[in-house]
Structures are given as structure tokens and as C-alpha cells.
Structure 1
Amino acid sequence: MSSSLSRTMQTHKVVIETKGGVVAAQHRLAAEAGAEVLRAGGDAVDAAVATSFAIGVLEPWMSGPAGGGAMMLWRADKGEAIAVNYGMKSPAGLKIEDFPLSGVGVAGDLFPWEQVVGNVNVQGAKAIAVPGVVDGLGQVHERFGRMPWADLLAPAIAHAREGMLVDWYAALIIASSTRALSEDADAAALFLEDGQWPTISGWTALAEKRLDQSRMADSLDTLAREGARALYEGDLGAAIARDVQDKGGYLSRDDLSAYRAQMQAPLSLSYRDARFHVVGGLTAGPTFAHAMGEMEQRDMRQKPEAFAAYADGLEAAYAARLEGMGDSGESPAAPGCTTHFSVVDREGNMVAQTQTLLSIFGSRVVSPSTGFLMNNGIMWFDPVQGRANSLAADKRCLMNVCPVIGESGERRFAFGASGGRKIVSAMTQMASFVTDFGMDVEAAFHHPRIDVSGGPKLVADETHSPEVLDRLRRDHEVVTTRRTVFPYAFACPAGVMRDRDINTGCTEIMSPWGDAVVEKED
């Protein structure tokens, strides 16, 4: 891939060691919200709840209360890993006949499904699936939380009352989707100015542009007072369902009231002297396990051979995923709409949480009664019938999320990433960086990676050594590129690590908003 970007600029993120807790998130203010909870004596789960709701306000195009995802928990007192799947589900009233194939080729968003007439499985109210993130958070808080639920939503409510600051990065993201956002009047009113991308704050010191998220603040306040199930069984859920149906979608009060996130035993696997825990079922966890199993058979002592093993293991794992799980690929150029954050508290409890609206800005539909940007989870399904992941009513969506808890000697880590199908490539390599090469968080997050996502070409960071690139080219068609701020050629990870009683964390080095925030020690 040719590029005019600088070849001399280097980007580095500082990693701080602490005995206190750490929150690593793709928005610094969301990480601050979680760290403040830890300072107040909260558990890692409490911090995760605060971070999740805050980041849905501060990075609304990536995730939010109307999305889904999964998390991995580590409970230090019991030495136990727990998986929580809060993936989305298609509404019971969905009508397959409303999604006729256009016959003109492949659709242009994340997945190369055959195009549906009007792209109604990608954008608009018919693309909206039953959200799960709030119920997942409610369940883990009820079981493990120490602090009152309302206190944990307070930072998100405060940020929504103030409104998200539109800096240069936010304006860039909004500008990338202006045409799509303009098709929904409520999305346009929230994100655009007279149908165009918003004025950038900070171009001069004289003006500050913020989104009007007051309606979202009111809805979050309702969730704070009435609890997580208010989104599913209360007036708030009824308002969302009414808004979606008014815009032509299927989501109903019955869909919401019937929804339950799944708290379950993880998919756990051994790898040499290490052990990993991921979410099983309709996630990327099984693909991660398959790739690690392939890599375990290879000699990983030298970097060139290790990267060859990564490429071969991921190719084999994706071939199995495409055949057995029905997920037939993703366009590497399309921006995903996912975020990941990780938490470790001073007692060693951990959370790795990935949450998403699926596409950037989800369905590009805003619920006017609640201020929530809605998901487009229906796009996860193949619109062609007769396949493992074919579109159907009342069916769980197949996700690419892959939060990981890893154990390696005296070290334990909670890693995850955004980036659609790029996530598994990142997680397998970073797990190996820690276990095969003994890297700490700083080294693992700064080391160049490759991406193998089931497509015909392998994408390699051009800062790899010539020896690694030459070895990869022996067996693969390789294109090289650099890590950039936008778009991301590779997944965007965030993670924390605990080495004995010392905690560290880091986020994707090219993420201008991402940071690891440390709880102040006593």
C-alpha cells in the first residue's frame, strides 16, 4: 500500500507501573471515570460499568446502550474466569421477505454479503437488532458490584449533560459518515450542522463545539434510577421500540423484555505453559482457540518463523470459521464500530470488555425519545438463505469480538481490541508476544503485527524487520502499510497486565484518544 505519510515520525505511549488499579480504554475520559470508581473502593466490575456507559457517550459512534458485545471476567479470590455474552439478537417479528437480494453484487459495508435492495440490512430501522450490553452490565454488577448502580452511571450522565466535545478527531469521524447520517433526521440533528459535518473545536481558542446529548442524559438518568432492566421492561424500552417501529423497524417491547445476556463458563485452552480464557459460542473465541492450537505445533523461538506460524495458524482458523460458522468475510477497508477496554483492580480482579454497534454509527438511526444511537446488528447475518449464519427472526448474531484473559507464569493479562475481523489476528499475536517472547504490556502494544482476516492478502506493518517480511513473502502475497490514526489497517487493542502485585496497561499507540489511567496509590 503506497502512502505519503511521514517515514520519520515515531509514536510511543508511556506505560506506568502501579500497585493500584488501571483502566485502559479508547477514550481517556472514560478510563478516568473507571479509575475514579477504583479510587472510591469499587471492584473491577464497578469500574467496567462506569467506563462502559461513559465511553458510549464520549465515543458514541463506536458503542453505547443500544449495542452488544461480550466480556471476560477474572475473579482473583477464586482464581476463576467467567464469560458474559451480551450479543445482539434479531427481532422475533423480522420478515425475511423484506430483505430481497438486489442481484448487483457485493454490499459495501463490513461484510461482503450479497447486496440487499436498499441496503436495509445495513442502514435504517430494519437493520436494528435487540441490544444486549445494558443487561450484561446489569447482571455482572448484581453479582460482583460493590458500589451503587446509580453512582456508576453518574459520570456518563455528567458527560452527556455537558455534551461530547467535537475536536479534530471527532469531526474527522463524523465527516466520514456525513452522507449516511443525513438520511435519518434525528441522527442528522445530533451529529451534523445544516446537513454537513460539524465545526471543529480547538481550531482557534475562541470556540467550543459540543454535541447536544441532553436527551441521552435523561435516558441514562432513567437507567441509573430504575436499573438495567428499565431498557428492557420499563418505559425507556417501550420508547425505544416505539421509535424503531415508527421508522419502519421490527424491534418490539416483547423482544426487549425477553432478552437475557448469558453468563457462562469460558472456553479455556492451554498453550505451552500458558492458559487462555475466551468467550465461546457465536464470537471469535473459537477462532482464537483454533489459531493458538495451530501455532502451538510450531517452533516460535525466532521472529521470522513465529510470524510465519501466526499467518498459517490464522489462515487455518479462518478457513474453519468461514465454513463452520457461516461468517464469510469482511472488507478490510470498512471501518468497524467497536470499542474495547480492560480493567484490573488492586486486588487482581480483571475485566476485558468489547462492546459495539457493529458499523460505524451503527444503523445511523437515532431514537428521538431516548437520544440513543441504534445498532445495525442485522448486518451480521448472511442475507442468502440456507447457510449457517443466514438471516432469520429471533436468532443470535455471530460476532467477531474476542476479549481474552491470559495466564502466563506470575503474570495475568486482560486484552481485547476493536477492528472487526482484525481482532483475532491482533489477539493471537499479542497473546504469543506475552507467552512465547515474554513481552510486557509496553513491548506487546508497540510491536508491529500482521493481519490475516480470511482475505487473499496478508497485511504487514512495514516497520517489521526485512527478515520477517522476507519470510512472510515466501508463502503469502504480502502488502505492507503503517499504523495510522484513521483508518486503522490493524485492530485497535487495549489491555492491562498484572505481574505479581504490579499492574500496567496500554492502548493502541496510534489512538489519539486512548489511554491507560492509573488509580492513585494510598
Structure 2
Amino acid sequence: MSGSFSRSQQTRKPGVTATSGGVVAAQHVVAAEVGAQVLAAGGDAVDAAVAVSFAIGVVEPWMSGPMGGGAMMLWREDEGRAHALNYGMRSSATLDVSHYPLSGAGKASDLFPWEAVVEDRNVTGATSVAVPGTMAGISAAHGRFGRIPWDRLLAPAVDLAKQGLHVDWYAALIIASSARDLALDPDAATLYLDDGQWPKGSGWTALADQRLDQSKMAETLEQLAREGEAAFYRGDIAAALVRDVTEKGGFLSMDDMRDYRVTWSDPLAIPFRDGTLHAMPGLTAGPTLADAISRWQDGYEASDADSPAAYVARANGLRAAYAERLTNMGDHESAKAPSCTTHFSIVDSAGNMVSMTQTLLSIFGSKVVSPSTGLSLNNGIMWFDPEPGKPNSLAPDKACLMNVCPVVGETPTRRFALGASGGRKIMPAVAQISGHLMEQGMSMQDAIEAPRLDASGGAQVVVDERLAGPVADALADNFPLALAQRLPFPFAFACPAGVMREGTSNSGTTETMSPWGDGVAEPETKKAP
């Protein structure tokens, strides 16, 4: 066991509770406020999700945006059931696998310990861009369940883009962490950097107001507000994206865009104690979640959930579930990856819920910006193993394997929507928080703030320093162990966001150490979004 830290400070988030209205919990409070205003205007949880999706792509552009992909779980109160919607990225049908030869230089430089590819062509640059799905996903959800007109839902994001993103200390830190790679793309450097080196920043005074110029993104969002999904996949925006990616050396065609389809499916129904977790099927973390939860229930009783032995059982279950995932799904993502995704959860006054995860994959995706649209581009090609003959090997026209894990959980007395960002750390966080809610009856705030462990990468188990003592000692008797602090950057245990409904009361909150994240209750005063 390693690591010794001072615990002289304790940090908590207040969370929010609404006795009659809905709640939005998101990694950026401004996006959460946008969603809460949509609920106040009479919008469904799906309407709020559309608005939050676009808004958070503006205020957190390095994590997600229309050029990304992801998945969502939806709970429909009138149907009494959950729906799963997968809008993950795909490789282009025109992709040339021979363009990604192994370099023989060891392991890749980003999230996955694949064998390195020449010039990191699968990691950064236009050659790492995959066919996006986020736009299709939110459009499909809105078409099926939305009530408020599409253009009104995009209006807040347009306004935010016109204002430009304020570069505070946290934004400057995020940009600085990727400045070297951003400098390689002229358009990314223009948007995010000063003189191609340093992040645009607001300096040392609180009155300084340095902002990113997101005017080109605002124009794109205005067109999407007018023309919807058609413009993105079949119209002028599609043509511009294809041209920009192709001119920068990547693989993307109009046929790729036109042929993209989302997948609606029945969710996995995972029995958990006296309740059920509804999770994503297919090429997500949902099947691995189901495996881990099954092992937990065989490993300890719910009444012993807070015991050292239960933590050992959870670590064993996670390790075994990930070993199965690696063998059958080919997922080798490093558990040391930085948080590079975004998640938000929503419940409306009627009890409808959305748990939505969207991502560019790496932080800043490919580190490339489309000059015609102002959108940051994904690096979804990195999801594939560049070595041939593996379950997840790189190939044309192939769906990406994702670690997203949005869930809707229910017990006899309450229901919750939950998810997280953080690569392979997502599923262990979602599983443990769900356990706190379903085995120990915690509030959402207490469940998210409770210390967790991570056992998703290699032999070592990483545990929150607050578990030092009997729990950490029991884990150290069974595994190589490291203690870790809960910090704003990087996140050692993922970055969750969740909402919960008990009777007609709704509550929600986000990761305690997330500088921008928060839960926001629907305002009592009704007004248009």
C-alpha cells in the first residue's frame, strides 16, 4: 500500500431537492441551469436533455459536442419502463487500415495501451476522427419524446457560443494540459491558445474576462436550430465537415454521414438486491456492469455492504468482470486515463428521467478543430485495437466499443438516473454509487460523496484515502494497493452526476470535486427557455 495524505480539509456539495419540480445534474452548472429552465417552461426530461447536450458542448467543448458520440438511458413514467439509445461513433467505410501501421515504439500515448501506431495516427489528428453520433442521438430522442420545438431548445447554446467561453482557472488548466497537441492543428491553436503556446486565460484578477471566440460554432448551432439533423448528416454542415476532415488527411465521406443510424433497444435489466438496474446493452460498459453486480451479490450480503470484506468482494468482482471484458470485448483502456467525457442526469416533475453520456473520447478529441464549423472533432478511431485479429481490431465501417455506463435504477421506494465520465473508471463508480443507493439507502448526495475504490486497470487497486484503516488494510492483504486523493484534476475515481426521485420529491448532485458541476432544481417561476 502506498500514499499518505493530510485530511485537514473536507469538501461537500449541498446538492438540491425539489418538492414539486424537476432537477438537472451536470458537469457544468451553466448547462444544468439551461436544462432547469427548459423544465420550468413545461419541457419533458428529453427536452431538457437536448438543451443541456448542446449547451454543455459549448461550455465544456473539450469533453463533448455534436461531433462526438455516446448513449442514453430514458425512463418513461407513463410506460413504466426504460429505453436504451446508443449513438456511438463508427469508423468510416472508407477507412484504410494500412494507413495505421504499428511503429514498434512501444505503447500508444493516450487512453489505451495499444501498440503504438506511426505518428499516433489513431490518437491525434484528422486520421483519428470517426463518424459522429451525438447529433443523431439527441435528435432521435427528441423526435420520439420531445415537446418543445427544436429551435427553442438550441437557442441557449447559440447564445452561450456568441458570448464565448470564459477562461477561468479550471478552463486554463484543462487547455494547458493539452496545449502541446493543440498547437499542432492551426485551427485548434487559434481557438484555444495564445501564440500557439499558452491557454487563453483571464490572468490574475477577478475582473479579467478572457473568452474563447466561439462565433463560428454559434453560426453552426444557429443552422442546426433551423434545419436540424438533416443539415448535420446530409446538408451543408455535413459537406463542410467531410471537406475539413478530408483536407486534414482523415477518412470521412458524405455516405458515412448519410448512412449513420442510432440504435434503440431494450436495456439490460440487472437484478440488484430488491431492485433493478437498467443499463446499456451491446458495445458499452453495461454487460461488464451486469457481470460485476452478479459477482458482488454472491460475494457479500447487503447487510454487510460497509464491511472491509464487502470492499474486498467488490474489488474481486470488478477485477474479474474486467478480465472477462478484456478477453471477449477487447477493451484495454487505461484506468489512469483523465476524465474526458461528460455526463448529465435529469428528472422532470412527472418522473421521466434521462441519463446521458456523451464524449469526444480523449480530452479535446483529436485535438483538431473544423474551421468551417468551429466544432472540435472526436478521435473515435482510438477506440479500436490497431493490431489485427483481436475482438476490437480496427476495420472500416465498424462500431466503436465504449466505456459509457448510463443507468436508471429502481427499488420499491425510489428511482434514480446515474452515470459518470472518466473512461474505464466510469463503471466501477456507477456500480458502487448504485450499491450505496440500493443496498444502504443513502441519499444521492451521500452516495456520490462516499469514498470509492477503482479496480479496473491491471493488478493494482486504487482506494480513496478516506478508507485508510480497516478497509484499506483488508484490501492490501489481497491486492497491490494505492491510496489516492479526491482532487479536481485529475479525477481518480470518475466524475458522476445523478438524480433521484422518492415519491414526488426529486434531488440531484454531481461529483464533489468537480469545479463546475452541480445539481440545479427547476425554478418555481415558469418561463420560456
Q: TM (normalized to structure 1)?
A: 0.98
After TM superposition, the structure 1 = structure 2 runs for residues 55-454 of structure 1, keeping only pairs within 5 Å, are 55-201=56-202, 203-300=204-301, 301-302=303-304, 303=306, 304-332=308-336, 334-454=337-457
Q: Which residue of 2 is the match for residue 10 of structure 1?
A: 10
In 2: Cα distance, 1:4 partner to 1:245 partner:
50
Deviations 1:140-161 (Å, cap 9, x if unpaired)? 1011000000000001000000
CA distance in 1 between partners of 2:214 and 2:338 (Å): 24
* Cα distance in structure 2, aligned partners of 1:356 and 1:195: 25
1:467 Cα offset (Å):
1.4
User: Match of 2:507?
Assistant: 504
Q: Give 1:389's aligned amino acid.
A: N
The one of 470, 474, 479 equivalent to 2:473 is: 470
Give the corresponding residue for 1:51.
Answer: 52
After superposition, the C-alpha distances for 1:218-245 in whole angstroms (9 at most, x for unaligned) are: 0011110001232101111110000000
Amino acid at match of 1:15: G
Partner amino acid for 1:254?
Answer: D
CA RMSD of aligned residues (A): 1.3
- Measure how far apart 1:205 and its partner are: 3.7
CA contact (8 A) 1:73 1:352 kept: yes
* Contact 1:288–1:428 (8 Å) recurs in 2: yes
Quick check: 1:310–1:428 contact (8 Å CA) kept in 2?
no
Is contact 2:92–2:253 with CA below 8 Å preserved after alignment? yes
User: What's the secondary structure of 1:109's corresponding residue?
Assistant: coil
- Check the 8 A contact 1:381/1:390 in 2, yes or no: yes
Q: Which segment drifts farther, 309-318 or 292-301?
A: 292-301
CA shift, 1:500, in A, is 1.1
Secondary structure of 2:393's partner?
coil
Describe the superposition over 1:115-154 as per-residue Cα deviations: whole angstroms up to 9, x where unpaired: 0010000000110000000100001101100000000000
Which letter maps to 2:104? G
- Give how far 1:66 is off: 0.3
1-structure distance, mates of 2:246, 2:169: 35
Report the CA distance between 1:206 and its aligned residue: 4.0
- 1:401-436 per-position Cα deviation (integer Å, ceiling 9, x unaligned): 000100012110000000000001101111111111
Cα separation, 1, equivalents of 2:187 and 2:200: 18
| Separation in 2, partners of 1:242, 1:337 | 26
Q: Does structure 2 conserve the Cα–Cα contact (< 8 Å) formed by 1:329 and 1:455?
A: no
Shift of residue 4, structure 1, vs aligned partner: 9.0
Structure 1 runs not aligned, ≥5 long = none
Stretch deviating more after TM superposition (32-41 or 335-344): 335-344
Q: Secondary structure at the match of 2:16?
A: coil
Q: Give secondary structure in 1 for the equivalent of 2:333.
A: coil
* Residue in 1 that maps onto 2:32: 31
Instruction: Give 2:519's aligned amino acid.
Output: A
Question: In the superposition, relative to structure 1, how do residues 493 and 468 fare at CA in structure 2: closer, same or farther (>3 Å)?
Answer: same
Say if 1:254 and 1:199 are closer, same or farther in 2 by CA, change over 3 A.
closer
- Cα deviation for residue 336 of structure 1 reads 3.8
SS in 2 for 1:229: helix
Quote the Cα distance in structure 1 between the aligned partners of 2:125 and 2:492: 27
**1:52 partner amino acid:** S
Q: Distance in 2 between matches of 1:3 and 1:246?
A: 48
Take 1:207 and 1:312, find their aligned partners in 2: how far apart are those partners?
A: 50
Contact 2:127 2:251 in 1 (8 A): yes
In the alignment, which of 510, 519, 522 is matched to residue 519 of structure 1? 522
Distance 2:417 2:129 in 1: 30
Deviation at 1:338, TM superposition (A): 0.2
In structure 2, relative to structure 1, the CA distance for the partners of 1:166 and 1:4 (3 Å cut) is farther
Unaligned runs of 5+ in 2: none
SS in structure 1 at match of 2:194: coil
Q: Is the 8 A contact 1:181 1:364 kept in 2?
A: yes
TM (norm. structure 2) is 0.97
Instruction: Give 1:200 deviation, angstroms.
Output: 2.6
1:319–1:454 CA contact under 8 A, matched in 2: no
Q: Which amino acid aligns with 2:10?
A: Q
Q: Is the 8 A contact 2:2 2:482 kept in 1?
A: no
Per the TM alignment, residue 309 of structure 1 is displaced from its structure 2 partner at its CA by: 1.6
CA distance in 2 between counterparts of 1:143 and 1:104 reads 48
Deviation at 1:10, TM superposition (A): 1.0
Is the CA contact (8 Å cut-off) linking 1:109 and 1:331 kept in structure 2? no
Alpha-carbon contact 2:339-2:495 (below 8 Å) kept = no
**Distance change (3 Å), C-alpha of 1:5 and 1:464:** closer
- Residues 74 and 353 in structure 2, CA contact (< 8 A), matched pair in contact too: yes
Q: Which moved more, 1:371-380 or 1:300-309?
A: 300-309
- Classify the secondary structure of the residue corresponding to 2:404: coil
C-alpha change, 1:348 and 1:466, in structure 2 (3 Å) is same
Aligned residues of 2:104 and 2:116 also touching (Cα < 8 A): yes
State the partner residue of 2:42.
Answer: 41
What residue identity is the alignment partner of 1:9? Q
Identical-pair percentage: 59
CA contact (8 A) 1:381 1:397 kept: yes
Letter in 1 for 2:316: D
1:347-403 deviations in Å (ceiling 9; x for gaps):
000000000000010000100000000000000000000010000000000000000
Deviation per CA, 1:466-503, whole angstroms, max 9, x where unpaired? 11111111211110011001111111000000011110
- Provide the C-alpha distance between the structure 2 equivalents of 1:280 and 1:199, rounded to a whole number of angstroms: 41
- The corresponding residue for 1:460 is 463
